[in-house]
Amino acid sequence: MKKFVFILLAGMLCISVHAKSQEPQYKIIAHSNQESDIQKLYQIKDQLLKDYKIWVKGVDNKDQVLADHQSDYHATYKQGVYMIVLGDGKGKSLSGELKVNYCDSTEDIETKSLLFDWLF
């Protein structure tokens, strides 16, 4: 029994768990590829990012916030994607993550285990 517990504890030291929360996505599709429609596309993207910061301030459930604000942009929110279609939706599209703070690093942090480094 002691050997089993020791092997279990040693195995737990060697294994690391990566937990990452899923951020909601946005996708905006322009009416056409004309310059004026593309400018409107970028203006709506900028306004959406500003509004999103305000909407989620102090809120735990970001998905519910986006579902509640679908009418603000005539959007649909399905499967974690907030989709805005402008006009016919035959033009350029933009997509990305909806975040509150874009200064957060997306670099992965490597976890080290002393026992794992020592054995291998």
Q: Please tell me the predicted confidence (pLDDT) of residue 19.
A: 46
Per-residue model confidence (pLDDT) at position 23: 84
**pLDDT tops 60 at residue 77:** yes
pLDDT 10s digits, 16-37: 554 455 789 999 999 999 999 9
Residue pair 100/52 in contact by the 8 Å Cβ criterion: yes
Instruction: Quote the DSSP letter at residue 88.
Output: T
Contact criterion met (CB below 8 Å) for 82 and 27:
yes
Domain boundary assignment for the chain: 25-97
Say which DSSP state 108 is in. Answer: P
Given a cut of 80, whether residue 80 has pLDDT beyond it is yes
- Longest Cα–Cα distance of the chain, Å, equals 73
pTM value? 0.66
Share of the chain above pLDDT 70, in %: 76
Q: Which amino acid is at 80?
A: G
Would you say 23 and 97 are in contact if contact means Cβ atoms under 8 Å apart?
A: yes
Q: How far apart are CA 98 and CA 96, in angstroms?
A: 7
